[in-house]
Amino acid sequence: MKRILSIALFTALFATVATHAQTQQQASQPTGQKTLAATMSVYAFPSAGQPATQQSQDEAACYQWSVQNTGIDPFELKKQADAQAQAAQQQAAEAGKGAGVKGAAKGAAAGAVVGGVAGDAGTGAAAGAAAGAMAGRAKKKNAQKQAQQQTASTQKATQEQITNFKKAFSVCLEAKKYMVKF
């Protein structure tokens, strides 16, 4: 009887310890959610031992403060930059659309006139068409190059604004006793 009671007591104790260990393990595992700072690739360590809830509140307050003081909202800025880049690419595609054919047609017409004066309109038209097609393709490449430059310029300006925002955000968090790196 004592043996059965000992086994039952040991089993109950083991089950309680196992359940407690499992609960502790689940509580210590990260939730997979990023903090506001981590979302912006800013790393903040609570050097005064602030709990996660306090850190979340401090990050939200610093985010609002930084938006007000810089006039920059990095999430909105990113959306705007993406929209501008897409518009520039579409504009480049439209600018070069049919440029070779249009150039060939214009060149053929001009070549036919010049060839007609020289006595061979057909040869003049063919030469003009070839030259016009090459000019049209060059126009298309130029339009694409300009769009790429505009996109690169927009991305650089956006990155500078985001860096300025991160500086303001970091200063605010440092004032609230966090160690910050970005």
11-21 confidence digits (pLDDT tens): 554 555 445 44
Residue showing tokens 């060059």: 138
pLDDT of amino acid 23: 45
Is residue 153 packed enough to be buried (19+ CB in 10 Å), middle (13-18) or exposed (0-12)? exposed
Q: Which residues contact 126 (CB under 8 A, 6 or more apart)?
A: 108, 111
Higher per-residue pLDDT: 140 or 95: 140
Annotated domain spans of the chain: 1-30, 33-181
pLDDT of amino acid 50: 95
> What residue ranges in the chain does DSSP mark as E strands?
43-46, 178-181
Helix (H, G, I), strand (E, B) or coil at 30: coil
Q: Can you tell me the distance from the alpha carbon of 65 to that of 180, in angstroms, rounded to the nearest whole number?
A: 16
Query: Which whole number is the average pLDDT over 146-151?
Result: 81
Query: Which whole number is the average pLDDT over 19-25?
Result: 47
Query: Which whole number is the average pLDDT over 155-162?
Result: 91
